[in-house]
Amino acid sequence: MFVDQVRIYARSGNGGNGSHSFRREKYVPRGGPDGGDGGNGGDLVFTVDPQLNTLLDYRYQQHINAQHGEHGAKQRKSGKRGQDAVIPVPPGTLIKDGETGEILADLLVLGQSEIILEGGRGGRGNVHFASPTNRTPERADDGREGQERYLELELKLIADVGLVGHPNAGKSTLLSRLSSAHPKIADYPFTTLQPNLGIVKYDTYESLVMADIPGLIEGAHEGKGLGMQFLRHVERTRILLFMIDVTSPDPKQDLEILKNELKQFSPHLLEKPSLLIATKIDQLPPEEHGGPFLGGKTNLGISSVSGKGLDELIRHLGQIVSDSRQQEISEVS
Ligand SMILES: Nc1nc2c(ncn2[C@@H]2O[C@H](COP(=O)(O)OP(=O)(O)OP(=O)(O)O)[C@@H](O)[C@H]2O)c(=O)[nH]1
Ligand SMILES: [Mg+2]
């Protein structure tokens, strides 16, 4: 299971009430007002914790409340602010309104935190309401109530490698060869309707997450085919693996179209580390199985049917993934 989802009921704290109190001292029969303010209620805050990788903790803790503010007191004493409820979540967690499904926050990077429900403000004590004409104000405000709602937390695993190609290029077949995932495979376009993720081992102790997404066609950036929503997934992957079907009528043009779609969607997609492979090379005459492919644009050709080129592909991807992980670590520290 890669999409981890939990529903919680969350509340921010109520504001404390303002105090309604008058000074009482010996020999001062009628002291002025001295009621202090209520403290603000605590906020409900989500924060990214890169050590976490599931939402499992929240399956067993379905109510989360921030603290109420304390009430104000006599002698102008303000109530203490309620403590925030700070909820750590793994990177890649979406917070949605449990009723409307509206996305409230997208928690992605180390150090990011978002206030989702604000605590209620504390009420003002009666010290604030004295005036020349009213020296004994009866008024003190109650604190505002905090907010409460159902929230839906959804964790999307961020993939290392995104498979980018036209429909039918063999993306799902490749994922099923390299991982234990079982995506649907068929000889018609748009077989894949939702991204599939699989774990690919590239070294004794190292593995990477590969995302198979629906095929892209010309106009994808404008919403053609299944376009847009999946380009968003691609934006989150570390590496792009361009897959071009050698049996297509014009493989070189296919590559141009793909690149152009990505660029139109977001130019920085093309700045990501990437690898270009030719697929279905078992369909070429045997003397061409060694490459070069796509008119010399790549030497890496694979066949998910015969298995040719797959070990080399895994080695290459493993190398790029570990380099890019290293780089991320050195950028953070
Ligand atoms: N000969 C041959 N056929 C392949 C190879 N890889 C995939 N195929 C076939 O190509 C067709 C499409 O494969 P899929 O893996 O479903 O393609 P896809 O890129 O996931 O397609 P969409 O999900 O529609 O984007 C299927 O009929 C596969 O059996 C290969 O290496 N060699
Ligand atoms: Mg597919």
Question: Given 156, 191, 219, which residue is the final one in a domain?
Answer: 156
190 lines ligand 1 (CB under 6 A): yes
Crossing angle between the packed helical segments 310-332 and 171-178, to the nearest 10 degrees: 80
Question: What is the CATH classification number for the domain harbouring 28?
Answer: 2.70.210.12
Ligand 1 nearest-atom number relative to CA 279: 31
Question: What is the CATH classification number for the domain harbouring 258?
Answer: 3.40.50.300
Question: Given 156, 173, 192, which residue is the final one in a domain?
Answer: 156
| Together in a domain, 146 and 176 | no
* pLDDT per residue as tens digits for the range 134-166: 888 989 999 999 999 999 998 876 788 999 999
| Together in a domain, 169 and 141 | no
Number of domains in the chain: 2
Task: State the distance from the centre of ligand 2 to the C-alpha of 203, rounded, in angstroms.
Answer: 26
Q: Where are the beta strands (DSSP E) in 98-206?
A: 103-107, 113-117, 148-156, 161-165, 196-201
| Together in a domain, 146 and 205 | no
Q: According to DSSP H, which parts of the chain are helical?
A: 171-178, 227-235, 251-265, 310-332
Question: Given 114, 135, 156, which residue is the final one in a domain?
Answer: 156
Give the whole-angstrom CA distance, residue 263 versus residue 233. 15
Task: State the distance from the centre of ligand 1 to the C-alpha of 264, rounded, in angstroms.
Answer: 26
196 lines ligand 1 (CB under 6 A): no
Task: State the distance from the centre of ligand 2 to the C-alpha of 271, rounded, in angstroms.
Answer: 25
| Together in a domain, 248 and 140 | no
The mean per-residue pLDDT over the stretch 122-127 comes to 96
The mean per-residue pLDDT over the stretch 51-70 comes to 87
Q: Which of 42-51, 92-101, 178-187, 271-280 bottoms out in mean pLDDT, i.e. has the lowest?
A: 178-187
- Which bound ligand lies closest to the C-alpha atom of 308? 1
* pLDDT per residue as tens digits for the range 260-307: 999 998 888 899 999 999 999 999 999 999 889 998 999 999 999 999
Query: Which DSSP category does 260 fall into?
Result: H
Give the whole-angstrom CA distance, residue 319 versus residue 277. 16
| Together in a domain, 31 and 125 | yes
Q: Output phi, psi for 217, to 5 deg.
A: -125, 170
| Together in a domain, 65 and 198 | no
| Together in a domain, 316 and 240 | yes
pTM of the model: 0.65
Task: State the distance from the centre of ligand 2 to the C-alpha of 266, rounded, in angstroms.
Answer: 23
* Domain region containing 29: 3-156
* Residue with the two structure tokens 């991320």: 328
